[in-house]
Amino acid sequence: MTASIISGKEVAAELRQQIKEEVHALQDTLTPGLAVILVGDNTASRSYVKGKEKASKEAGIYSELTEMPSDITEETLLNKVEEYNHQDDIHGILVQLPLPDHISEKKVIERIAPQKDVDGFHPINIGRMMTGQEAFLPCTPFGILQMLKYKNIPLEGKHAVIVGRSNIVGKPVGQLLLNENATVTYCHSRTADLKHHTSQADIVIAATGKAEFIKQEHVKEGAAVIDVGMNRREDGTLCGDVDFEEVKEKTSFITPVPGGVGPMTITMLLYNTLQSAKKHAGVRNS
């Protein structure tokens, strides 16, 4: 079996067009606003922030970038977040992670007003998601769910195996699939016999940060495979956590890297910012 490639680019382009149209329709009421805070000069973080700014602009979302040096105090950063919490033209706040070691990410995330937490990392939004209430969903897991739905990949009653249990990807994507009535297994670095679990999965989500780690032997014939990983090979080229060339021969659906999950993450950030702005303006979803 040769897999159908799920193009995150294609799904993202369609969703971004819908977002752009909704933003346009709102123009007489308000312009959605996203504040992004970048601390320090991490090259990868800077490039993610640039991508978010560009995408916001294209969708007609106002975006404001605050750059802070890596030696700022935690207090200064918390105060900036607080300022944005009260700024009426800002509907979403994103603090680009990771932060320097002397700043507590937990404290910073908890300072963001939950109604502006468009990254979906605040414990209140996580708790709401876990209890099936309306919440800002974390962008990468939310994007993965959108791709699976776009391709009509059945979730209910299916066995999803998540490889990775981070707070930003592994744990929430498992929760979202559980909310869709999938049966979910989490695997991690201490899992004994990973292959035993992954090879039973109807859906494998790879989020380990280990380049081309998931091989053909890890997946069963006809499984759908979502590759969250973004890694650099020794020659500098980008690759995922899945050995794409090898695994695609065995699967029904697979996401490429680049062009898979990545474009969806930014798209869901735009989506969450739009939802926040609509809520602020009292506009209901049709």
CB of 8 to ligand NDP, least distance (A): 8
Size of the site for ligand NDP (CB under 6 A): 25
CB of 20 to ligand NDP, least distance (A): 21
Evaluate whether 177 touches 137 at the Cβ level (below 8 Å): no
Angstrom distance (rounded) from CA 83 to CA 85: 5
Task: Return the number of the residue (210 or 220) whose C-beta is nearest ligand NDP.
Answer: 210
User: For this structure, is 119 an active site residue?
Assistant: yes
Marked catalytic residue, from 80, 116, 117, 119: 119
Piece in contact with ligand NDP (CB under 6 A), picked from 63-71, 112-120, 147-155, 222-230: 222-230
User: For this structure, is 215 an active site residue?
Assistant: no
Which distant-in-sequence residues (6+ apart) come within 8 Å of 69 by Cβ?
39, 40
Marked catalytic residue, from 96, 146, 175, 275: 96
**What is the side-by-side strand order in the sheet with 92-95?**
62-68, 33-39, 92-95
Give me 280's structure tokens.
């602020």
Contact pattern from residue 85 through residue 124 relative to ligand NDP, giving x for each residue in contact according to CB under 6 A and a dash for the rest = ----------------------------------------
Our measurement of the distance from residue 198's CA atom to the centroid of its chain's CA atoms, rounded to an integer in Å, reads 22
Pick out residues in 20-79 that bind ligand NDP (CB under 6 A): none
- Residue 255's Cβ-side half-sphere holds a number of Cα atoms within 13 Å equal to 35
Task: Return the number of the residue (12 or 155) whose C-beta is nearest ligand NDP.
Answer: 12
Pick out residues in 127-166 that bind ligand NDP (CB under 6 A): 140, 163-166
Best CA proximity match to 122, nearest among 70, 178, 167, 74? 167
Task: Return the number of the residue (135 or 187) whose C-beta is nearest ligand NDP.
Answer: 187
Contact pattern from residue 173 through residue 212 relative to ligand NDP, giving x for each residue in contact according to CB under 6 A and a dash for the rest = --------------xxxxx--x------------xxxx--
Our measurement of the distance from residue 277's CA atom to the centroid of its chain's CA atoms, rounded to an integer in Å, reads 19
Task: Return the number of the residue (265 or 272) whose C-beta is nearest ligand NDP.
Answer: 265
User: For this structure, is 52 an active site residue?
Assistant: yes
CB of 143 to ligand NDP, least distance (A): 7
Tell me: does residue 169 bind ligand NDP (CB under 6 A): yes
Using CA atoms, how far residue 175 sits from 70, 137, 179, in Å, is 34, 11, 6
Task: Return the number of the residue (175 or 280) whose C-beta is nearest ligand NDP.
Answer: 175
Evaluate whether 95 touches 37 at the Cβ level (below 8 Å): yes
* Antiparallel, parallel or unpaired: β 159-163 and 203-206: parallel
Exposed / middle / buried, residue 96 (Cβ in 10 Å: 0-12, 13-18, 19+): buried
- The 3-state DSSP class for residue 72 equals coil
Element containing residue 39 per DSSP (H, E): strand 33-39
Task: Return the number of the residue (182 or 228) whose C-beta is nearest ligand NDP.
Answer: 228
Contact pattern from residue 228 through residue 257 relative to ligand NDP, giving x for each residue in contact according to CB under 6 A and a dash for the rest = xxxx--------------------------
Radius of gyration of the chain (CA): 19
Task: Find the distance separating the first CA and the last CA of the chain, reported in whole Å.
Answer: 40
Query: Which positions touch ligand NDP (CB under 6 A)?
Result: 140, 163-166, 168-170, 187-191, 194, 207-210, 228-231, 261-262, 265
As annotated, the active-site residues are 52, 96, 119
